[in-house]
Amino acid sequence: MNCPAMSASASSSRSYSTFRPRPLLPQTSHDSQRSVLHYSRLPSEVFATSPLRLLGKHSLPLRAVVTSKNISSSSAVISGDEKIGVLLLNLGGPETLDDVQPFLFNLFADPDIIRLPPLFQFLQKPLAQFISVARAPKSKEGYASIGGGSPLRHITDAQAEEISKCLSEKNVPAKVYVGMRYWHPFTEEAIEQIKTDGITKLVVLPLYPQFSISTSGSSLRLLERIFREDEYLVNMQHTVIPSWYQREGYIKAMANLIQNELGKFDSPSQVVIFFSAHGVPLAYVEEAGDPYKAEMEECVDLIMEELDKRNITNAYTLAYQSRVGPVEWLKPYTEEAITELGKKGVENLLAVPISFVSEHIETLEEIDVEYKELALKSGIKNWGRVPALGTEPLFISDLADAVVESLPYVGAMAVSNLEARQSLVPLGSVEELLATYDSQRRELPAPVTMWEWGWTRSAETWNGRAAMLAVLALLVLEVTTGKGFLHQWGILPSS
């Protein structure tokens, strides 16, 4: 693959203009505290009676940097005796059906995924074992439907290879490594190879466009622990690119894919563009300060602004998928948003997996199977889905540019450009990022603080809490006595 260069019009001096709100469609809501659907530019006759609201929580003057900088001086920051490494971080996924349960265990054993109060943290692994065993049968069905395993490792390896080729073409010889959080090749395995190869400068690049506690944050915490325990790593210079949703190449690559898929509909202008992002618990955003929601909304704004320049002015909306458990997650929920659109008479829908750059279970099964079936049942007649970026050349080239641009900051904290704002999480080292972000690992508060009688969302939440407390009590009893049904079933080892 040849790395495409940005056009002359996309020079380093250019940035997207300050965001100007478009005429937006009103929202509908199931309660007074939080909207369930945020609509933008849907036909006014569809929701003529609802109050107007901007898409997203923040009405910021968005001046995001989306340019590809001049990289001709990249060799100036690389001396002859230095060895450059790039570490790509990703979630990982089971490659066979036998891998599903241990993969789920690794996932739920992560305290950044399930945060227990300090008193119960010793139950993290028993609880992860319980949940993984309970969820494995259904998860295996999902993976069986997409070929018996996740393609994530294969795709990420291909992305690493193409980024390495692009860096070579940009006169930056570098080795690119893949470190998965919950499956092979684990981050620890990648770090050992980095040490073996004698890397002296490392750029850490999470393959998540937007930063979140539960994705990039979890991987960075793991890296922090590994770095602190190893003298070689302590002395190795590094920097982290924590999010890159605002980059020009990424924005243009996403717009290209959307434009291509819109062209497959009989009436492209009538298609609603449906951005579906992976959800996170609401408390992560409102209490722990996770920038994920703000970055996601800004990302959607930038993509739609790019489409505007191409005279594509379709209606669009953003929703969040893949929630689990009884707590409240970011809204609107994808399944509820799809149902509501069907009720409002929308007939053409194009799903855009906005937080995923590789195909995996949540695109191939959750979106392509579950949400498509729901959409057709809800009255939507024509369904389309934008593919994940994968090894799309413009996207790969832009990631390579991001690596080159970060090299001057290896070993030093980057200073944000106030005139051309970087992402909400600034470039910096693992330690610096974690020192300024969620550093105290506070217990996340309960999502609902008032009790409501009847069959309400609050009651469902309290029922979920009661069930969780019951599970924790059973686990405490099993761990302390060594007896119970978990031991009988072989889930916990007998003493």
Q: Which two tokens stand for residue 346?
A: 């929308």
Between residues 23 and 465, the one the model is more confident about: 465
At 341-366, the pLDDT tens digits run: 999 999 999 999 999 999 999 999 99
Please state, in angstroms and rounded to a whole number, the distance separating the CA atoms of residues 253 and 387: 11
Judged by average pLDDT, the poorest of 27-36, 168-177, 461-470 is: 27-36
Statement: residue 173 has pLDDT above 60: yes
- Please give the pLDDT value at position 447: 36
At 27-60, the pLDDT tens digits run: 333 333 323 344 445 544 443 333 222 232 232 3
- Please give the pLDDT value at position 77: 58
Closest CA to 407 of 71, 119, 178: 71
Average the pLDDT over 148-158 and give the result.
97
* DSSP state, residue 351: E
CB–CB of 443/118 below 8 Å? Answer: yes
What is the H or E stretch that residue 487 is in?
helix 485-488
The H helix count followed by the E strand count for the chain is 16, 9
For 48, the 3-state DSSP assignment is coil
End-to-end CA distance of the chain: 56
Question: What is the phi/psi pair of residue 204, to 5°?
Answer: -95, 120
Q: Which two tokens stand for residue 34?
A: 């939080």
Question: What is the phi/psi pair of residue 63, to 5°?
Answer: -125, 55
At 286-298, the pLDDT tens digits run: 988 899 999 999 9
Domain range summary for the chain, segments of one domain joined by +: 84-244+393-413+426-437, 248-385
Please state, in angstroms and rounded to a whole number, the distance separating the CA atoms of residues 489 and 375: 40
- Please give the pLDDT value at position 326: 78
- Please give the pLDDT value at position 273: 98
Q: Taking each helix axis from N to C terminus, what angle separates 292-309 and 248-262, rounded to the nearest 10 degrees?
A: 60
Q: Which amino acid is at 399?
A: L
Q: Which stretches within 76-123 are classed as H helix? A: 100-108
Task: Kindly state the greatest CA–CA separation across the chain.
Answer: 71
Burial of 187 (0-12, 13-18, 19+ CB in 10 A): buried
Residue 69 — very low, low, confident or very high, per pLDDT cuts 50/70/90?
very low
Average the pLDDT over 109-126 and give the result.
85
Would the pTM of this model clear 0.85, i.e. be above it?
Answer: no
At 420-430, the pLDDT tens digits run: 334 455 577 78
Q: Which two tokens stand for residue 178?
A: 């893949």
Q: Which stretches within 146-278 are classed as H helix? A: 152-169, 187-196, 218-228, 231-235, 248-262
Residue the block writes with tokens 């929580």: 57
- Please give the pLDDT value at position 278: 96
Statement: residue 492 has pLDDT above 70: no
- Please give the pLDDT value at position 121: 87
Percentage of the chain exceeding pLDDT 90: 56
Closest CA to 53 of 21, 19, 95, 99: 21
CB atoms within 10 A of CB 306: 20
Closest CA to 240 of 433, 439, 438, 74: 433
Under 8 Å CB-to-CB from 196, ≥6 apart: which residues? none
At 207-226, the pLDDT tens digits run: 999 999 889 988 999 999 99
**CATH number listed for the domain at residues 84-244+393-413+426-437:** 3.40.50.1400
**CATH number listed for the domain at residues 248-385:** 3.40.50.1400
Average the pLDDT over 470-483 and give the result.
69
- Please give the pLDDT value at position 323: 87
Residue 90 — very low, low, confident or very high, per pLDDT cuts 50/70/90?
very high
Under 8 Å CB-to-CB from 380, ≥6 apart: which residues? 338, 341, 342, 346, 347, 348, 349
Listed in order, strand segments (DSSP E) in 301-454 are: 316-321, 348-353, 382-385
Q: Find which of 78-82, 260-264, 417-421, 436-440 is predicted with most confidence, using mean pLDDT.
A: 260-264
Please state, in angstroms and rounded to a whole number, the distance separating the CA atoms of residues 151 and 64: 32
CB–CB of 485/492 below 8 Å? Answer: no
Domains 84-244+393-413+426-437 and 248-385 share a fold: yes
